[in-house]
Amino acid sequence: MIIDKSRKVIYLHNPKCGGTFLRDIYQEKYGDTEAIRWWKLYSREHGTDLGHISYDDLPRFVPDFEEYRLLMMVRNPYNRFISGYKETKSQFSTPVRLGGLINYPRAYYGSGEEYNRLSKVEKVYEQMKSALPFTFLHELRKIQLLSAPDFCKWLGSSNRKRQDLFLRNKRIPWLNPQSDFIGSGVTVLHYESVSDWSVLFEAFGLMEYSGRLSIAKDYTMDESFYRILERLYPDDKQLFDWYKKIT
């Protein structure tokens, strides 16, 4: 999220829609300012990933948010799922000192204060839990073992609790519904639109960086993948319908 008080503009960071690029060029031009102070990992104190604060959570961070111009970007939901899958998978791919095993607790709890508060015994215990079937940490392994289509099918055949672990989880937000960042007064821009990017650049005084914009190409996927995703994201129905009209 970017909160530009001088311009009275807020950018809500919907994951995998170019927000990190926007943050990076904003920081390059203006430095490490208050505008990007909330761009951080999950915080137990705040109960959300601070890099991706949702519309409903916004009043807790910016009580006078209604006085701002609110901007966010959406992306083709099929492409965005695969990009989110890759991002989530990468977050659980760093080997650590536990016999070369992937440290799922650290990836899930974050590498910040929350994980560091655990004692050595607690860290080992959490890692052991990730090897036990039917624990949520064990479920996280699926994203390492399955391809994007197979992961999608697995989620499609799973119960709501298991789906929510990946799709409605404020600790690992990259697959959360895009509708979480849409609300009253929010201008919805489209990641694939160069003209919509120009709206963002102009809003934050960044037009000189427009030449560095690179929009990701579409992923290839079959029709069955589409149908499963539409069932997994009922809250994003309007978005699925919109993108069907332009594809």
Q: What are 6-28's pLDDT values in tens digits?
A: 999 999 999 999 999 999 999 99
137, containing H or E segment: helix 136-139
> By percentage, how much of the chain surpasses pLDDT 90?
63
Task: Name the residue ranges covered by the structural domains of the chain.
Answer: 2-82+176-246, 90-167
**pLDDT confidence of residue 89:** 86
The percent helix, strand, coil of the chain (3-state, each to 5) is 50, 10, 40
CA angle (149, 150, 154) in 5-degree steps: 120
H/E segment holding residue 48? strand 48-49
Beta bridge partners, 43, equal 48
β-pairing, 9-12 vs 69-74, is parallel
| pLDDT value at 135 more than 90 | no
* Contacts of residue 27, Cβ cutoff 8 Å, sequence gap at least 6: 33, 36
More confident residue, 124 or 187: 187
Give CA angle at 197 (184, 91), nearest 5°: 85
For the record, the structure tokens of 47 come out as 């109960």
**104 confidence band (pLDDT: 50, 70, 90):** low
Tell me what the mean pLDDT of segment 224-233 comes to. Answer: 92
